[in-house]
Amino acid sequence: MSNAKQTTGAASGSAEETKQDKAIIKVEDECRSILKRCRQLMAQQKFSEAYFLADEVIIKAYENKLPGLKREGQLVQADCRQESEDGAEKPLPRA
């Protein structure tokens, strides 16, 4: 009887993990989509828009403990800052 309880417990834990995994995958997909849009904006010389969109990625990545995506967002912001300082637009804020 205790085996049945353990199995049930493991199954519900597994279902919970799957639900969390799906949620994280959804956030990762959203972040990657936003980063793609940031790169498109940068190609169009719209660095301030790209900078603030990258901020969204950083926040979502931080909230969901996704350090790789957080770093990608920070790199996009750094690129935007560099380009704006090179005279393309008014300088963007430093982090």
89: tokens are 């637009």
Does residue 14 form part of some domain? no
pLDDT tens by residue, 19-46: 888 999 999 999 999 999 999 999 999 9
Distance CA 4, CA 9 (A): 9
Rounded to whole angstroms, the Cα distance separating 71 from 41 reads 19
84 within some domain: yes
Kindly state whether residue 17 falls inside one of the protein's structural domains.
no
Q: What's the mean per-residue pLDDT of the chain?
A: 84
Q: Please indicate, yes or no, if residue 83 is contained in any of the structural domains.
A: yes
pLDDT of residue 3: 47
In the predicted model, residues of the chain with pLDDT beneath 50 are 1-3, 5-9
Which amino acid would we find at residue 41?
L
Please check whether residue 18 lies inside any domain of the structure: no
Question: What pLDDT is attached to residue 25?
Answer: 94
In total, how many domains does the chain have?
Answer: 1
| DSSP result, 40-69 | HHHHTT-HHHHHHHHHHHHHHHHHTT-HHH
Is 7 inside a domain boundary? Answer: no
- Domain around 80: 27-88
